[in-house]
Amino acid sequence: MSRVVVTGRVPDAAIEKLRVEHEVDAWQGPESISRDELLRRVAGADAILTLLTERVDGELLDTAGPQLKVVANVAVGYDNIDVAACRERGVVATNTPGVLTEATADIAFALILMATRRLGEGERIIRDRQPWKWGMFFLLGTGLQGKTLGIVGMGGIGQATARRAKAFGMDVVYQSRSEIDPDVAAELGARRVALDELLAVSDVVSLHCPYGPATHHLIGAEQLSAMKSSAYLVNTARGPIVDEAALATALRDGTIAGAGLDVFEREPEVHPELLELGNVALVPHLGSATIETRTAMATLAADNALAVLRGELPPTPIG
């Protein structure tokens, strides 16, 4: 029987699945596990289920020891994992793509609606008990029908967001490392363009690309200046893809009309200027936060770990 360390609270279904075959040491604290406690617990582990809040690097892998076979990340993004360090030590790294596609696309489109229809501003007026009354020009937003959605990163989540945009009567352009399936592109009415063109023509820009050195601050002052002054930026991918300081300046100065953010550059810290601006909708990394999705993510991570421990190929390896 192998020892599996789970670095944070996950749905019981995943823990029960692991316990059928192995000894499980699961962190149950209300807060994220500290680095010192994490290193103490992983010593001697054969498998580790990690959350995106834990950094998996050479130090952690070496502390675990040479018997470690798999790191199963309970997330689709894996910027918290040093994949090269895993490979060097013969450790399989896995993630959980696919199962959070629809939930994250829902949040992306919710943020599009919140930003363009100024829903957050409206709710704050009521909750703050500010006086208000209906008026022809009160909190005027903008409609989506006939507008253009620019999607940066046209993987599963980007495509799911595009389907929602089509239902709202939007045109879709996208920037991605490769073209999507022609049949899917035809179904969505989606056209591939360069990033510069996407920024120039889009009424809403939605980010769905993975985070890494190539996409760090992909959207900064120059890119924001290339957008329409009436346009909106939405980020449900990873925070550091956007230069938050530049975004705050662009929102304050009217370079763009508004934004919606589910992720942040120094999460959970939010740039203080963003907190003072009414034209940005802010939610605390809720992209995959449904009972169904988080359960599916955790059980897929468990399946990945179990497969490797059995000497089988995992369902969703990284790379």
Q: At what angle do helices 101-116 and 291-309 cross, to 10 degrees?
A: 150
- Residue written as token pair 């944070």: 8
- Going from the C-alpha of 267 to that of each of 33, 58, 106, the distances in angstroms are 16, 23, 21
| Cβ neighbours for 79, distance < 8 A, ≥ 6 positions apart | 210, 211, 212, 238
> Where are any strands of DSSP class E within the chain?
3-6, 23-26, 47-50, 70-73, 92-94, 148-152, 171-175, 190-192, 204-207, 232-235, 258-261, 280-282
Bridge partner residues of 3 (DSSP): 23
Report the C-alpha gap between 137 and 233 in whole angstroms: 23
- Going from the C-alpha of 18 to that of each of 2, 69, 127, the distances in angstroms are 10, 15, 45
Closest CA to 170 of 142, 209, 132: 142
Walk across the sheet containing 92-94 and list its strands. Answer: 23-26, 3-6, 47-50, 70-73, 92-94
Q: What is the dihedral of CA 96, 24, 284, 170, to 10 degrees?
A: 20
Residue 217, pLDDT score: 98
Cβ-contact 318, 78 below 8 angstroms: yes
What value, to the nearest 5°, has the Cα angle with vertex 287 and ends 285 and 290?
Answer: 110
Query: Quick one: 3-98+291-309 is in which CATH superfamily?
Result: NAD(P)-binding Rossmann-like Domain (3.40.50.720)
275: tokens are 């907190």
- Residue 149 phi, psi (nearest 5): -100, 125
Residue 30, pLDDT score: 86
Which residues of the chain does CATH 3.40.50.720 include? 3-98+291-309, 101-282
Indicate the DSSP class of residue 262: S
Q: Decide which of 3.40.50.720, 3.40.50.920, 3.40.50.2300, 3.40.50.300 is the CATH code for 101-282.
A: 3.40.50.720
Q: Which residues are catalytic?
A: 238, 267, 285
Residue 245, pLDDT score: 98
- Going from the C-alpha of 196 to that of each of 152, 202, 300, the distances in angstroms are 11, 10, 37
Residue 1, pLDDT score: 86
Residues of the chain with pLDDT under 50: none
Residue 319, pLDDT score: 80
Residue 3, pLDDT score: 98
260: tokens are 């919606």
